[in-house]
Amino acid sequence: MSRLDSLIKRFIAQRDCLDHTATLVADIPGPIFELGLGNGRSFDHLREIFPDREIYAFDRSVSAHPRCIPDADHMIVGDIRETLNYCLPRTGGKAAMIHVDLGNGDPTYGLALTAWASPLVASRVLPNGVVVSDAELDLPDFEKLPLPDGVKPGRIYFYRAPSTLSVEG
């Protein structure tokens, strides 16, 4: 498969998982966290499917299309390992959904990402909240959710937080 075809399939899988997540967290109040703003495409889509939610984007720097950048109150700039750790006073609490879009295809980076992101993500999602990730995370107490039809396993990872998680930070 060409890299272009692979990219198209990844984008379709990402969209389908995000769309499905909107129904899964409809009854869970709380913000949405976008980890990795990048060029802003998925953030823009999140605004469309969660029109009444606060959406906070986290990234080391801002280089997105100007129409796909959150306002200053919702854009958290800096090393995500630090900003996610201390964001709760700003975001008003944990997230109903976290979209982790930080992978870069490098296997060594992927291992490091899994190691540092897994505990942070687990500590920042609400009970029964959903995590959609482009990297496999180590979330042993979370339920691995079935992927939407047509999404190839290993392309996107889909988790539900246990109902026993603390709501407090």
> Which pLDDT band holds residue 93 (cuts at 50, 70, 90)?
very high
Buried (b) or exposed (e) across 15-38, using 16+ Cβ within 10 A?
bbbbebbbebbeebebbbbbbbbb
Q: Which domain holds residue 128?
A: 3-160
Global pTM reads 0.94
Q: What is the mean pLDDT of the chain?
A: 93
Residue 167 lies in a domain: no
Identify the CATH number of the domain in which residue 50 sits. 3.40.50.150
Tokens at 143, concatenated = 């339920």
Report the pLDDT value the prediction gives residue 140, as an integer from 0 to 100.
94
Residue 144 lies in a domain: yes
What does the pLDDT look like over 53-86, one tens digit per residue? 999 999 999 999 999 999 999 999 999 999 999 9
CB-neighbour burial class of residue 140 (10 A; exposed 0-12, middle 13-18, buried 19+): exposed
Q: Cα(86)–Cα(118) distance, rounded to whole angstroms?
A: 16
Residue 61 lies in a domain: yes
Total number of domains in the chain: 1
Nearest CA to 46 among 18, 20, 84? 18
Amino acid at 82: E
Residue 168 lies in a domain: no
**108 φ, ψ (degrees, to nearest 5):** -70, -45
Q: Given 3-state DSSP classes, what are the helix, strand and coil percentages for the chain, each rounded to the nearest 5?
A: 35, 20, 45
Residue 169 lies in a domain: no
Q: Which residue has the tokens 């897994």?
A: 118
Q: Does an H or E element contain 29, and which?
A: none
Tokens at 65, concatenated = 């299309």
CB atoms within 10 A of CB 152: 10
Please determine, for residue 7, whether its predicted confidence score (pLDDT) is greater than 90: no
**123 φ, ψ (degrees, to nearest 5):** -85, -5
Amino acid at 112: A
What does the pLDDT look like over 114-159, one tens digit per residue? 999 999 999 999 999 999 999 999 999 999 999 998 898 988 999 9
The rounded radius of gyration (Å) of the Cα atoms in the chain is 15
